[in-house]
A and B are shown apart, each in its own frame.
Chain A
Amino acid sequence: MVCAATEAPQELDAALQQVKRDMLGLEEKIRQMESSGSQSRLETLSVYVSVDEDISFRLEKVRLKLDGKTVSESVFYATQQQALKQGGASPVYQGTLMQGKHRLEATFIGTGKNGKRAEYHEQWRLTQPPGRHGMVELHLGNSTFRQAPAIDMRVVD
């Protein structure tokens, strides 16, 4: 029947650990190769999304536009939503952004407190100084008076 001789769970765990280590080693190798090749000196922008622990709006999708052009669309399933609620910050965009003035637009799509689908849009002006890896955090919290979440944008120094 079943139960052909199998190894001990500990052995398997050890093998898995080794494979994980090797993967990390490979990752490092690849990373080094990439960074030695074409180190970009251009200005960049990273955008993160985070939410309040007790947020009632269930965030399902974030669409980002830079200067009118859609640059990213991130989907959040239950696991990711949970990770956000636990305090994680999800990177939703990483790319170059030349110095100067830009417009950043974000659309937050999800389910509201009342169970209805809702979409909220917000936009900001950004000035990218020269030689800068800009980091921006878009934060969703509960709004005291409104159904819509309070959307905050924070430039990280």
Chain B
Amino acid sequence: MSRRWLLYLTIVLVSGGLPLQSGAMSEQRADLLNRELLYYQYKGDGFSAISRYRAGLANGEIPAGQEKWTRLAAQLYASWGLFDEAKELYSSSAAAQTPQQRAINWLSLGKAYFERQHYAEAVAAFERVGIRQLPKQLEYERLLMMGVALYQLDNFAGSSSSLWSIHPTSKLYPFARINIGMGSIRIGSWPGGISGLSSIKKRIGIDVEADPQFADRLNTVFGYILLYEEYSGSNTAYGKVSMHGFTTPKKKGYRDALEMLRAVPDKGLYANKSLLGQAWIAIDTNELERAREILEGLGKKDPRHLVVQEAKLALPYVLEREGDVARAISQYRSAVSFFENERNRLDSLLQQLDSGELDNSFLTMRRDSAAQNPLTAYLPEMLLAPLPHRMLGDFEDINRLRVQLDEWKNQLAGSASLMADLSRQQVALDDLHVRTVKMLRSQAGEQLTERRRRINHYLNQARYGFAELYGRQQRGGVDPREALVAYHAYLKEAPEVSAEVRKHIVGRIADLELELGEEAEEIVPAAKVSGVAAYLAELEKNPQDAGNEDVLYKLARAYEQQGETTKALDALQKLIRRYPNSSYVAEARFRVAEGLFIQQNYQQAASTYDGILNNKKDNAYYYHALYKRGWSLFKLGRYQQALDDFFAVLEHYDSAGDLNSRANQELYADAQRAINMCFVNMKGPASVSEFFARNQYHRYIETVYQSLADYYLAQERFSDAVQTWSTYVQHYPNSQYSPRYLLKIVDTWKQQGFEKNYVAAQERLINDYGLHAPFWNNHKPEQFSDVRAALKQNTRLLAEHYHIKARESGNKSDYVQAANWYRKYLKNYPDEKDAAELNYLYAEILEEAGQYRNAVAEYNAVVKKYPQFAMRADAGYAAVLLTFQQAESGPRQEREQWRKQSYETALNFAKLFPGDGRASDVLLHLAEGSYRRGEYPEAITLARRVVTQGSRQQKQKALLIIGHSQFETGKYLSAEQTYGTLLQTGRVAKNERREINKRMALSIYRQGEAAQKTGNLSAAVKHFLRVREEVPASSIVATAEYDAAAGLISMKNWPAAIEVLERFREEQPGHKLQHEVTRKLALAYTSSNEPIKAAQEFERLAVVESDAEKRSAALWKAAELYDSNNYLDQAAKLYKQYVKEYPAPFDVAMEARQKLVALYSKTGDDKRRDYWRKQIIDVDRKAPVSNERSRYLAMTAAVEIADAKYRDYQAVQLTIPLKKSLRKKKKLLKQAIDAYALVAGYGDAATITRAGYQIGEIYYDFARALMKSERPRGLNDEELEQYDILLEEQAFPFEEKALEFYRSNRIRITDGLYDEWIRKSLERLAEIFPARYSRPEKQDAYIEALQ
């Protein structure tokens, strides 16, 4: 395999091979399919998601009836709007095995309904969720959606009750409160709404994920509510914010509103709206310059923005009030033309919408900006409203399905049977398309019409303001014609014109007409004829007619209708005077009194009523008169007297039981109100108690107190209301009303958000009327179920109050209070349904207060005491977490104890809640802790449990712990298996995979080491070799391979060792062990009898070894191996190299030279051989310090050279011509003698004797050679004799010379020497002088002497 391929991951698709149509699907496949379905759903393609699901079901990829899949299918159907299918699936037994799951399914279904605005169905589904079946977070989500759905269904009571159930600590609480607040406002309960909203005011800073601009929105909404409230009482319809009749501002409301509005940043969705609000406040508080600045700023923004349009209208009004009439006129004028334009624009847009021109633009319009398409500028905004938004979604679905249908048509062009189906479907889809478009059109139409109405309103306001300025400016002012046109347009087009305004305008028109004269005729309609004129004409005609009684009566009525009260009274008084017996008189008298009353002539009115009261019998007006006299007295400030009248009225109606008519009911109620007003105008509750101390009417005590309190409430005089109840409670502490009034005090402070008072009231309630209060000695608790319930609820609320406060303030006293209240609650109401929840909160506060031991005890108590509690597992988990935290970061000296406890708590949790996902987390945490502390067996046991019950990721973590623990405890085989499992099955991240691989490789390696330790070498080797096979990329492969090779070498398994080593050399280039590998290879090759390969390895070592000594040794070894295996060239080369590279140490180099000598001797290369011999001699001679061996070698070399010379010399025969051969032999003689002289020079006894003998031999040889030389031819006997004598003479000195050397050798015997050469010399002497020398030497004697 090439190295390149090693880098690729070779992946086999599956090892076992799965059959094509497999029934059971692997978990991984299921997971992937699941995510494929989710992918379709997330991108909004419900059709593909469901189709794919159904296909999977059909082909067996998805098992039928499995909970997980059934729920997924239900979710897909639900989110695609197929509710029947979704509902069936959700409610099927397959979708839910536990009650909790059933609850979650209903919640999911409800949510789907909710999201498609099927609010009634959503509520029905939410209501199917059982009590306490959902985890806390989901339950709050359910309550919030249910609250909003009920709100949408106009069921505000239901909505608010649902929303109130959301706990203040929940993240959804602000949403709940804002909905409650808005609900209160919608039903007209402003104080309730404002208090609801202000309760979240202080929590505005919190981060609300779902709505990043939540704070801005809240500030704006709340600011506006305060603004409207302040501005126009409770009359808050937007359009009614009129520019007339400002109330005197109560500054406080505006101050709060401003504070909210100013908190909204200048940029963002709510900036304009907030600015406009600030402008209105500025106008109303007469800060006109500020108002103008804001409005001018707003006027420069997008003119299609509603707020900007309102600002356009407000600006000229401000200018007018500032006195800048000229600019006001011009601004009004331009506002009128702007609004006219916009109205026209909207009209033509509506027309386009109607004609269908915009049908195809709905989807794209959402993204158009006004600049891109001014015509549609009003539409995109409205398309974001919930219903149109949903319709657009449907529209997209329909389009998607139409495309799908077209695809099928193309695909299945041949199939006739299906084509019919497809065509039918096409018709249905087309029809739906048309209907949806129509619906969108109608939705858009409604929105645009509303917008047109608003603009029309502004237009007419502008016209009116403009026309009103007529006559205010002389030059450049409003032209009378313009004013006339504006007034007429106003009367014609303004949606609502009050009678008062109409009258004013008619008057103005009349003035204008007068001024314009005939010119006006072109515009002004015909004048109206009034009824009054007709009656007056009649009276004038017949002044004395008896029937005038009737005419006068009618005239009075007519005047009254026209608002001409004085004239009406005149007419009536005339009637009383002229016709005292008329049947009209009683009424006339009453009406006169009423008229006087209306004219605020109370004194006269009172006396006129007195007149009526003189006669009680048959007097239909008696009690009305009594009642109105009361009012007159009241107006005159005579409250005590007024009270007498009003109470008399009450007593009358109560005793007569005459309260059936609506009028009487109203009168009765008004009398009550008047009584109230009296007390209000006196000293409030103090006057009440004084009054009842003096007077009877005790049956009204409670009513009076309550009415007074109600009045104060309505007036938002909350402390007065509270004072009223308080006064009552003070006077009648044992009254059954007292605890209830206290309850009202509590509620009031609560609603008003006066937190301190609220809490004080709650505490007063529980302290004075608590379960053990004396009050209950005289009262039966069963009659006070409301009070008892409130006691319970307020105990709870107090606990929660201090809980929140403690969280905000961090004060210890708050924590103590909260804990006390929780404890009180748990003690008094241990069997309440919410005891579990409170106990949980109690545990939480203890935890927050740092009382960790108690907190853990309480959490554990929750687990133990309330087996049905939905958050039981949460409590258990909280206990576990707490112990974990303390064990890790608590006081150092306590940590060990905490750790022990955490262990128990956690194990207990895991045991109690095995199905809880956190159980595995907890076990994992324990396992990790054990692992970190080195308690590996424990870690393994814990992690094993996670493996059996945890999620895939938890399992993976657990396996990792197990693997590492096994690794740490030396269970390498197990560790390897664990890591293997992890790598095979887990989705392991790359870096983790690297670590696991490393550990896995180490595990295998360690197994090898272990085997090695026990002496099982072959097993060890197997493991070492496996490292490379299992984890080829691991960094310890090299070490393992090396160790394997070492093991194989120990086992003398040379071939295997060689294979591993060679592979190592190839695969681990540059590895630091490479040299060692070469060494080992050298050994292995040597041992497996492959000397040449071994030699090559040594040769390598000779280069790479770091140590010079080793290098030289390797070189030597290599040379030797070549030498001994007849690779002589290589051997020679290496020996020479040795000599060259390692001249020192001297003796080894010398041996190398000797080797070369031997080597060349073997090859017969005499020249080179002798060269090296001479080298030996030279080096030895030149060496500063020689040694025996060297000298020996040098000497041997010298001997051998000399011997050779000798042989050369000996070989020369003396032949004729003698002269020539003689010369040659003589020359060689000299050389040989010189050579031996050199040998002798080594001074060694043996060489000296040898040299002596040889030199003797040389001379002797010469002598004999002469004697034996070829005689010249042709000599006669005598001549021959002469010649022989001559030869003898010639030879004699040589013989003598020879004898001399032999003898000198013989003499050495006396020095104690005797060797081969001496012996040979003696033999020669005996040969030459037999008599003299042929006898045994006196060796024995000498030896004896020595002994």
Contact A128 B13 (CB under 8 A): yes
Q: Is the interface of B mostly helix, strand, loop or mixed?
A: helix
B19 interfacial by beta-carbon distance below 8 Å: yes
A130 interfacial by beta-carbon distance below 8 Å: yes
A153 to B988 alpha-carbon distance, docked (Å): 11
B418 interfacial by beta-carbon distance below 8 Å: yes
Interface flags, B68-106, vs A, CB<8A=1, else 0: 000000000000111111000000000000000000000
Contact B43 A83 (CB under 8 A): yes
Question: Which of B17, B28, B415 meets A132, CB within 8 Å?
Answer: B17
Contact A123 B42 (CB under 8 A): no
Question: In the complex where A35-B59, A125-B10, A126-B11 touch, is A20 in contact with B81 (Cβ < 8 A)?
Answer: yes
Residue from A90, A129, A156 with most neighbouring chain B CB atoms (10 Å): A156
B772 interfacial by beta-carbon distance below 8 Å: no
Residue in chain B with minimal CB distance to A76: B43
B51 interfacial by beta-carbon distance below 8 Å: yes
Contact B36 A2 (CB under 8 A): no
Contact B43 A26 (CB under 8 A): no
A13 to B495 alpha-carbon distance, docked (Å): 36
Question: In the complex where A28-B54, A156-B26 touch, is A89 in contact with B432 (Cβ < 8 A)?
Answer: no
Binds B, one of A53-61, A111-119, A133-141: A133-141
Q: Which of B1069-1114 contact A (CB under 8 A)?
A: none
A26 to B418 alpha-carbon distance, docked (Å): 8
B776 interfacial by beta-carbon distance below 8 Å: no
Residues of B within 8 A of A154 (CB): 987
Residues of B within 8 A of A2 (CB): 350, 353-354, 441-442, 444-446, 448-449
Contact B350 A1 (CB under 8 A): yes
A27 interfacial by beta-carbon distance below 8 Å: yes
Question: Which of B36, B85, B412, B448 meets A48, CB within 8 Å?
Answer: B36
Residues of B within 8 A of A13 (CB): 81, 116, 118, 394
Question: Which of B5, B51, B449, B991 meets A3, CB within 8 Å?
Answer: B449
Contact A15 B435 (CB under 8 A): yes
Residues of B within 8 A of A12 (CB): 394, 432, 435-436, 439
A154 to B986 alpha-carbon distance, docked (Å): 10
Q: Is the interface of A mostly helix, strand, loop or mixed?
A: mixed
Residue in chain A with minimal CB distance to B43: A83
Q: Which of B10-56 contact A (CB under 8 A)?
A: 10-15, 17-20, 26, 28-29, 32, 35-36, 38-44, 46-47, 50-51, 54-55
A135 to B22 alpha-carbon distance, docked (Å): 14
A72 interfacial by beta-carbon distance below 8 Å: no
A15 to B772 alpha-carbon distance, docked (Å): 64
A96 to B9 alpha-carbon distance, docked (Å): 22
Contact A23 B425 (CB under 8 A): yes
Contact A1 B449 (CB under 8 A): yes
A120 to B350 alpha-carbon distance, docked (Å): 52
Interface flags, A1-29, vs B, CB<8A=1, else 0: 11110110110110111111111101111
A144 interfacial by beta-carbon distance below 8 Å: yes
Residues of A within 8 A of B444 (CB): 2
Residues of A within 8 A of B768 (CB): none
Residues of B within 8 A of A84 (CB): 39
Contact A6 B38 (CB under 8 A): no
B989 interfacial by beta-carbon distance below 8 Å: yes
Residues of A within 8 A of B418 (CB): 26, 29-30, 33
Interface flags, B824-851, vs A, CB<8A=1, else 0: 0000000000000000000000000000
A69 interfacial by beta-carbon distance below 8 Å: no
Minimum distance in angstroms from B83 CB to a CB of chain A:
7
Question: Which of B20, B353, B991 meets A131, CB within 8 Å?
Answer: B20
Question: In the complex where A21-B82, A126-B11 touch, is A156 in contact with B28 (Cβ < 8 A)?
Answer: yes
B8 interfacial by beta-carbon distance below 8 Å: yes
A88 to B48 alpha-carbon distance, docked (Å): 13
Binds A, one of B396-404, B713-721, B1199-1207, B1333-1341: B396-404
A88 to B44 alpha-carbon distance, docked (Å): 12
A82 interfacial by beta-carbon distance below 8 Å: yes
B990 interfacial by beta-carbon distance below 8 Å: yes
Residue in chain A with minimal CB distance to B83: A17
B421 interfacial by beta-carbon distance below 8 Å: yes
A89 to B28 alpha-carbon distance, docked (Å): 13
Residues of A within 8 A of B394 (CB): 12-13, 16
Contact B81 A16 (CB under 8 A): yes
A-B contact pairs, 10 of them (CB 8 A): A2-B446, A10-B118, A17-B81, A24-B51, A30-B408, A83-B42, A126-B12, A127-B10, A136-B13, A152-B989
Contacts beyond the supplied A16-B397, A89-B35, A90-B36: 8 A-B pairs with Cβ under 8 Å:
A2-B354, A16-B432, A20-B80, A23-B404, A87-B38, A127-B10, A134-B14, A150-B989
B-to-A contact residues, CB < 8 Å: 5, 8-15, 17-20, 26, 28-29, 32, 35-36, 38-44, 46-47, 50-51, 54-55, 58-59, 80-85, 116-118, 350, 353-354, 387, 391, 394, 397-398, 401, 404-405, 408, 411-412, 415, 418, 421-422, 425, 428-429, 431-432, 435-436, 438-439, 441-442, 444-446, 448-449, 987, 989-991
Closest 9 CB pairs of A and B: A88-B39, A2-B445, A83-B42, A89-B35, A83-B43, A6-B442, A129-B17, A127-B12, A134-B13
